[in-house]
């Protein structure tokens, strides 16, 4: 590691005098800070190091919000931090950080970063590739992305240290980049996504100069690893502000860089209405303290593309609805993961949710009861409800109502009548020719009339790929999710 000289982000050298806001002039209290963060701050201070709470924790507390987590910045190097705590893990290659654990809480502790210089390794677009440089508190401040994220809570006197215009921008409700916006976006294009997310979370506006280059530089997102964009999309759309975030992504041309397979389809009001309804459903569950799942989010987000491709396959190749949905799902996921990664532990449940949609139209008693035992039935049922409620389609609403009543136990309600031109309308209700069994003398006896043929787990002879559900949404039996965990 090296130590650099102070340098501002426009290339000129400068020292910055901090402004201190005393405890009497701000609302951040130690009672609002997690116990693990306080222990980290005091341990570093008592060991003779500088220690500050910084970033989103300070920002959210000033805005009257409850932070999801807290970060600490210090002049202690990682190898100096590690011996001070019984449970401390060093992570990262670009820049080593310390994860200090207190029970379930992890306090991310970083050494002050040095100023950006011409020595930093970059790619052809200007993105920084190597960042192993330590610095001072002032240098760390101007290295941060937005002014509202460059506020430091000093545990020594409980003041807030501001090297930029962070306090003024908090009071004015403005998201402003530190330094030249185009240069900062080129250093890390994900900042464009963060600008939208933080602005909507705080109900702030994006400064004109900060917003101006976004649409022009949106294509820089292609340089970001797909796995990192998966996390960023979750932060944007698995949130209470998901609808506003989607709108912002589309306005600035960022959404088409993330989901080119879906973006043109959202110009159709029905598709946009469905996606917004799913995002609203997720937001409502979060407000109610219920569990939400990335599988349900991505299944909802990509459904218009899956539905459109399935309709095309049925028209061009005459595929049965179930086959069309399966093939369409595989194609859409394959086209998506080159831009935004979707881990298998989420993509497999997504496919289950999609694959079960045409099976909801099979309302005979045997098939219906079998479907209700499927591990992903609750998630697929919730998905059906969103489809029905967002579309206002009478037949789909009647079908959703039928399945709601069917789950109450007892005799199943009369089967709803589905229009012949429904996207999933099938000929499955017509008698099918029974396949001739092979195997000579060792074959089983002839099937009894009305007896269902043996199937794999999940029903209808389809391997649901859900024997080991590792997506973290499993219910008490290890497979079936609770109703609250379905989405």
Torsion of CA 228, 231, 236, 242, to 10 degrees: 140
Highest mean pLDDT among 231-245, 417-431, 434-448: 231-245
145 catalytically annotated: yes
pLDDT of residue 464: 35
Choose the catalytic residue: 60, 71, 244, 382: 71
Predicted TM-score of the model (pTM): 0.79
The question of whether 471 is a catalytic residue gets the answer: no
Q: Which of 69, 131, 270, 422 is catalytic?
A: 69
Question: Would you call 123 a catalytic residue per the annotation?
Answer: no
Phi, psi of 76, deg, nearest 5? -75, 135
Using one digit for the tens of pLDDT, what is the confidence trace for 196-248?
A: 999 999 999 999 999 999 999 999 999 999 999 999 999 999 999 999 999 99
CB 354 within 8 A of CB 325: yes
d(Cα 247, Cα 272) in Å, to the nearest integer?
10
**pLDDT by residue (tens digit) across 442-469?**
444 443 333 333 332 333 333 333 333 3
Strand, helix or coil for residue 449: coil
pLDDT in tens, 32-77: 999 999 999 999 999 999 999 999 999 999 999 999 999 999 999 9
Taking the CB of residue 49, how many other CB atoms lie within 10 A of it?
A: 16
**CA distance linking residue 52 with residue 152, whole number of Å:** 6
pLDDT of residue 439: 53
What is the C-alpha to C-alpha distance for residues 341 and 350, in angstroms, rounded to an integer?
14
Options 60, 140, 145, 352, the catalytic residue? 145
Which DSSP symbol is given to 443? S
Supply the pLDDT for residue 470. 38
pLDDT at 416: 77
Whether the per-residue pLDDT at 307 is higher than 60: the answer is yes
Check residues 16 and 465 and name the one with the higher pLDDT. 16
Q: How far apart are the C-alpha atoms of 257 and 427, rounded to whole Å?
A: 40
């Amino acid at each position: 590691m090296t130590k650099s000289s102070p340098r501002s982000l426009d290339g000129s050298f400068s020292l910055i005098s901090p402004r201190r806001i005393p405890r009497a002039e701000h609302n951040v209290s130690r009672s609002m800070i997690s116990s693990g963060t306080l222990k980290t701050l005091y341990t570093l201070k008592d060991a003779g190091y500088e220690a500050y709470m910084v970033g989103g924790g300070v920002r959210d507390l000033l805005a009257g919000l409850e932070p999801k987590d807290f970060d600490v910045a210090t002049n202690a190097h990682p190898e100096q931090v590690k011996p001070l705590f019984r449970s401390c893990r060093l992570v990262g290659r670009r820049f080593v950080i310390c994860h200090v654990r207190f029970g379930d809480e992890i306090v991310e502790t970083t050494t002050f970063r040095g100023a950006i210089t011409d020595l930093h390794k970059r790619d052809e677009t200007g993105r920084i590739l190597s960042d192993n440089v330590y610095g001072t508190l002032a240098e760390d401040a101007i290295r941060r992305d937005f002014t509202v994220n460059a506020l430091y809570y000093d545990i020594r006197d409980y003041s807030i240290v501001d090297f930029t215009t962070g306090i003024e921008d908090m009071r004015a409700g403005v998201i402003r980049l530190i330094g030249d916006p185009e240069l900062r976006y080129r250093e890390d294009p994900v900042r464009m996504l963060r600008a939208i997310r933080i602005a909507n979370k705080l109900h702030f506006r994006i400064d004109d100069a900060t917003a101006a280059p976004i649409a022009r530089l949106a294509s820089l997102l292609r340089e970001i690893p797909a796995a990192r964009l998966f996390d960023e999309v979750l932060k944007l759309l698995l949130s209470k502000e998901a609808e506003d975030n989607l709108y912002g992504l589309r306005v600035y041309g960022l959404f088409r860089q993330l989901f080119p397979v879906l973006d043109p389809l959202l110009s159709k009001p029905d598709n946009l209405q469905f996606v917004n309804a799913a995002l609203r459903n997720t937001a409502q569950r979060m407000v109610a303290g219920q569990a939400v799942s990335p599988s349900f989010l991505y299944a909802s987000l990509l459904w218009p593309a899956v539905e459109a491709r399935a309709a095309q396959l049925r028209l061009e190749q005459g595929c049965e609805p179930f086959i069309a949905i399966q093939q369409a799902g595989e194609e859409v996921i394959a086209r998506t993961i080159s831009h935004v990664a979707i881990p298998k532990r989420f993509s497999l449940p997504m496919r289950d949710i999609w694959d079960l949609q045409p099976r909801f139209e099979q309302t005979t008693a045997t098939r219906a009861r079998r479907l209700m035992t499927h591990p992903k039935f609750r998630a697929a049922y919730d998905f059906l409800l969103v489809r029905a409620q967002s579309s206002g389609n009478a037949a789909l609403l009647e079908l959703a109502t039928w399945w709601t009543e069917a789950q109450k136990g007892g005799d199943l309600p009369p089967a709803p009548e589905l229009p012949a031109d429904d996207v999933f309308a099938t000929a499955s209700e017509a008698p099918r020719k029974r396949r001739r069994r092979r195997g000579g003398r060792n074959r089983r006896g002839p099937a009894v009339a009305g007896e269902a043929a043996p199937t794999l787990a999940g029903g209808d002879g389809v391997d649901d790929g859900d024997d080991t559900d590792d997506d973290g949404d499993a219910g008490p039996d290890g497979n079936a999710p609770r109703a609250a965990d379905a989405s």
